Amino acid sequence: MVLFFALIRETFAHNPHSSTTSSVIPQRTNTVLLCGQYDIYNTSAGDLSFSSDVWNPDKSGGQCVTVNKNGTTFDATWAWKSDAGSVHSYPHVNFNSPTLPVQLSNISSINIHSQWSMSPGASPSISNDVAGLSNLNTIANVALDIFADADPVKSQSEVQAGYEIMIWIGSFGDPKPLGFSTGAACWNQTLGDVIFKLYMGKNHRGNNVFSWISPLNITDFNEDISPLLQALWRNSLVPQNAFLGLVEFGSEAFHSDKNVTFSISNFGMNLTSDTAPNLTVVTAPKSCTPSAATSVWDSLSFFWAIVGIVFTTMAFVV
C-alpha cells in the first residue's frame, strides 16, 4: 500500500499548501520563495529549474522552498505529520541541458555533483543532524530521479515516461524503495567507492522503476553515474536506444513531526554525448528481469483477494 501510493503523483486531488510552514520561513535577500503546490523557478540562464512538487499534500503539514535567484543554493523546509508511509512531496532541481533527450547508448558520461544536508528546524545547516531528525521521526530520502522512454517526447514527462531510474544517495528513518517488499536486492553495482544495491518494482501504470540504493549518506556527491545506467541497458533491463529525458535531484519527504530543512549547494550536471564507453558492469542474474519486478498493484490485489476468500469461506462455515 505504501509503495503503491508513493508513485501516483498525478492522480491525487490536491489541496493548497498549509500556512503553518510558510509562516516560519522569512524571505531572504535575492531569493525566491516557492510555497505553492507546483511552484517553479527557472534561472535566467535556463540551465536549472526548481520545483516545490507537493504532489501528495496532507492538511497536517506544509512546505516552502527557498531558491537563490542565481541558482546556487536551494532549501526546502517541510513538515508532514500524518500518513508516514507515503511520499508527500519531492522538492527538487531539474538539470536542463540542450543535449537532452539523448539515447542511453550515446551517453559518454553524465557527472552529477552536489553538496547537501538535512536537519531539524527552518534554517539550512552545513551538516546532517541524524539524532535530531530521529527525534522528530523524520522519514525522507535524498535521490536523483531520472526518466527515460523509447519516445524522446515522452522521456521528458514524469507521467508519460516508461522507465524511472532513482539513485538514492541518502536516507533517514528507513524509507523503502519500490520492490523492497520482494526481498533482497536484485544485484549490486559499484559507483566510485560505494556499492549500490538495485531494487526493481512496478508503479501503478505497470512501468518498471529501478532504484539504486547507497548504504550510506553521501553528502558530498561528485560522480559519473553512467555505470549505473549502463548496468541497466547492457543487461537489457532498459532498451539501449531509450532516450534519457529528465534528470532531477531532490528529496522525497515522507514524514516529520516538526519542520526539517533539506539544503543543497554546489550542484550541477555535466553531460557528454558520444558513443558510450564499455564500462565495467556486473552481469545481472537471470532473476533480475523486467518480468520479475513486482507490481505493487498486483501484490495488493492478490492480498485483498486472499482476504476476501478467507472471509467468504468463514461466512459459509458459520
- 150-168 pLDDT, tens digit per residue, is 999 999 999 999 999 999 9
Give the count of domains, the chain: 1
What is the rounded average pLDDT for all residues in the chain?
85
Q: What is the largest CA-CA distance in the chain?
A: 71
CATH number at residue 123: 2.60.120.180
Contact criterion met (CB below 8 Å) for 32 and 67: yes
CB-based contacts of 310: which residues, under 8 Å, 6+ apart?
none
3-state secondary structure 111-137: EEEEEEEEEECCCCCCCCCHHHHHHCC
Q: What is the DSSP letter of 89?
A: B
**Residue 283 domain boundaries:** 2-317
Q: Angle at CA 114, nearest 5°, toward 108 and 115?
A: 155
**Alpha carbon of 204 to those of 3, 161, 296: distances in Å?**
10, 13, 7
pTM score: 0.85
What is the helix (H) or strand (E) element at residue 229, kind and residue range?
helix 226-233
First to last CA, the chain: 31
Q: How far apart are CA 126 and CA 118, in angstroms?
A: 8
- The dihedral built from the CA positions of residue 61, 199, 240 and 142, taken in this order, carries a sign that is positive
Digit-coded pLDDT (tens) for 179-218: 887 566 888 999 999 999 999 988 777 788 999 999 999 9
Which residue has better confidence, 191 or 311?
Answer: 191
Digit-coded pLDDT (tens) for 80-135: 998 888 999 999 999 999 999 999 999 999 999 999 999 999 999 999 999 999 99
Copy the grid coordinates of residue 243. Answer: 532516450
- The dihedral built from the CA positions of residue 289, 154, 14 and 34, taken in this order, carries a sign that is positive
CB-based contacts of 270: which residues, under 8 Å, 6+ apart?
109, 110, 111, 113
Contact criterion met (CB below 8 Å) for 136 and 256: yes
Residue 206, number of CB atoms within 10 A of its CB: 11
Taking residues 35-45, report their average pLDDT.
Answer: 95
Q: Report pLDDT for 290.
A: 64
| CA-based R_g, the chain, Å | 20
Residue 137, number of CB atoms within 10 A of its CB: 15
**Alpha carbon of 134 to those of 130, 173, 200, 205, 252: distances in Å?**
6, 7, 28, 34, 16
- Nearest one of 96, 102, 54 to 79, comparing CA atoms: 54
Question: Do strands 163-172 and 208-213 pair parallel, antiparallel, or not at all (unpaired)?
Answer: parallel
Q: Report pLDDT for 178.
A: 86
CB-based contacts of 265: which residues, under 8 Å, 6+ apart?
72, 73, 74, 114, 115, 116
- Nearest one of 112, 143, 98 to 245, comparing CA atoms: 98
Q: Report pLDDT for 22.
A: 52
